[in-house]
Structure 1
Amino acid sequence: MRHAVVIIHGIGEQKPMDTLRGFVSSVTRNQGTDGKNIEFYSKPDELSNLFELRRLTTASAEDEGRVKTDFFEYYWAYNVRDTKVQQVLTWIWQILFRWPWSLPKRIRPFHIAIWFIIFASLALILSGYDIPFMGEDQPMWIGAIGTLLTAMLSYLFTGYVGDAARYTSPSPGNIAERQKIRKDGIMLLKSLHESNKYEKIILVGHSLGAIIGYDIIRNLWSEYNTKYVDGKYKDQLLKFEKDYAQPENVALNIKPYQSAQEDLLYQQNDGGNPWRITHFITLGSPLTHASFLLAKNISELKERMKERELPKSPPVFEVIKNINRFTYLPDFKKPGRVLHHSAPFACTQWINVYYENDYVGGNLSEYFGKGIREHKIKIKGSPWLRFVPFLSHTHYWSDDGNLKRCEASLAILTSIIWDKKMPEKDEKEKQTVQPDANELAGLEL
């Protein structure tokens, strides 16, 4: 059996394979025997619908405890075309016309600063102040600079910011693009599952790709959650539910929780559920701004999570007969309970990575649950990268071979991708502990 890693790119005029090649070159560097690079090869990608795409496959090295790994790129940029400046400006104005205190603390200063600039500019104009070079006799170079800046802003808006504006805005003009992006991503992940080649699938989302990955998981899981029906590990599932269907004010130790997730996924697999997504890694994820990207405000975001539209880790539970539940009986004639449709992160571990000065990303556990392993890291390199806001956003791996600046991010990525400690199934069976029947009394129905 193999492992699969799927990388979802972020905003911008991305070209097929650019993201994948840079990512794979970075995570294979110095990861082989004696610090050598892991070799990889370009092979046809039979699972994607684009001939532009290839899969990059590593050579197997069983003596090192490493299995063959296939890397795929989910390329979606070609689905968002013909963005208009007006669409982006409308989206920006919708964000600007929010009360600053309703926005995440991380971007609140930028929101206030923009309004300060707007009011200062208006005050300057209304005061009648004679701005140099703004009269009828302005030099030609002023007009040329203005034209150049306008063209640059137009390209930035339509080629980059427009991707986020259109994907996160469910207006009628964006629905077709949103649907196509999600549908193609789901088809790729379903193809990986149905190929029966992979015992482990890791989904990595950078920037807007993190939101797309989240949407793919939450929609795909609803096709898999009821496939665990034999009840072989029903006591273990009840124990997991008892331990982690807890109110948000109850402390959660992340290491035991993710270990329990790993156990639960194996039990689900062995019990008939073919779900194989072991890890969801978000890099510089805008989901930290979910209160205005996925909802109108924090209250609406929490309500949509409570309604199980947006999954959390641990899953949202309901109280049934004084018992906290995120499982249910799909068929009373069958022995086992199943996880509900909004519980993918009962089985899938969520790891979030962001730089201190990357304000596109940020902490996710505040909204999406304490079961997310958070990594707030520092970038190395020039003062520009280390201190100027947002510049670190494109440096979670290296496209130019300079791994030093992103070594903190790569250490996390490589530890997950090349994990040599993951037990084999026969070892996992020996580790499966039968819960105390008395402890679970009354929880089954």
Structure 2
Amino acid sequence: MPRTPDHAAPGARATALTAGWLAAALLALLFSALPGGCRLRDGGQEDLVIPQLVRTELYVAPNGSDSNPGTREEPFRTLARAAQAASPGTTVHVAPGIYFGGVRTTTHGTAEARIVFQSSERGAARVVPPLDSRQPAAWDNRANYLDIVGFEIDGTQYQSGMKWLSGIYNAGSHNGIHHNHVHHIGTDVPCEPRGGAGIGVDGYYKGVDGDVAGNHVHDVGPPDCRTMHGIYVSTTANVRDNIIYRASGSGIHLWHDASHVTIRGNTVAASGIGIFVGGGDYYHGKGPNDHTHTVNNIVFDNAQGIVEQGATGPNLSYRHNLVYQNPGGDWQLSPGRQHTGTVSAAPLFADYHRNQPVPDFRLRPGSPAIGKGLPPAATDAVALHSARQPDIGAVPHDGPGPAGLPQSSP
């Protein structure tokens, strides 16, 4: 706050004090509209305090209780209770153990205060069907600015009630679905027209901007069911660095209002269609699917490779993908569309056959996918000079072991 020198004239001193008081009052009024407002220090001296976001840590553990306060020492027992207690800025830490699915998250975070649900040990918090399942998804998220990180979604232990058609269903905006292991979803259900997915990013409720990264998705849908997919997108999204195999429909499937999607660095195998890019049957938009870019993916040993159908615009691109051994055709693009930088050879995975429980998708030395990817756009000359030419696919040749995630029990 401005101060008046002691030697100033009385009138000037009074004028300055009045101006200073008015300035402080105006600032106090301004900051009182913000969360936390402002305060006066003891003694009456004005001191503005810029409000800071208070972040909350909640804990869930198998030995907890939903009557607990959700602290580290007294954790909750269920994900549902943590979802009720979460608020903008909350991180929910979930200890290793088994938890019932059918979870719904509806509380929104904000761009500055996201809500994060994370397994404290990647893949060790395991979500399974409840005794009497009442929901068609293991995790149904309707909130915005929320992240789901590091869980295992395991549909193998169905007991009774409604069978899951989706592992993680996301209908909100600006959400992240990262490093989850989603498997055995809807493998013994009738093939329904509405379908399902291991991970779904849906625009029906006007959700946008999903980020699906680093997930391991497999064994989705009954045999020969074209409506059950590994990762399904019907809005704007990034789909990157995922491993998908044995999805009865498409490994990655874009339809409805899908547009402005980046499909980068995924590995898709042993599915109906590897990557399906299309638009139609619109929810809210008028199409087409445009500005979707398919880059650095391995699409191997599927019934079909990369397929484009429906309403698609002129600004789609297919660059530096390895597409090989898809008997129904490696490519099916719109007339006149070209793919560039394609590698047409076996990827030479470390250990793979299509019925293997957990294939090892690392690249063996000599793989044609090593160093053949398209680098991300560099923001400056230094980054461009230092960038290593990336490998194609989700797992680089010097990456983690089989699947990059803990193996689950069959």
- Report the TM-score when normalising by structure 2: 0.28
User: Going by fraction, where is strand more abundant, 1 or 2?
Assistant: 2
User: Which structure would you say has the larger RCO, counting Cα contacts within 8 Å and 6 or more residues apart?
Assistant: 1
Between structures 1 and 2, the one with greater helix share: 1
Who wins on radius of gyration, i.e. which is larger? Answer: 2
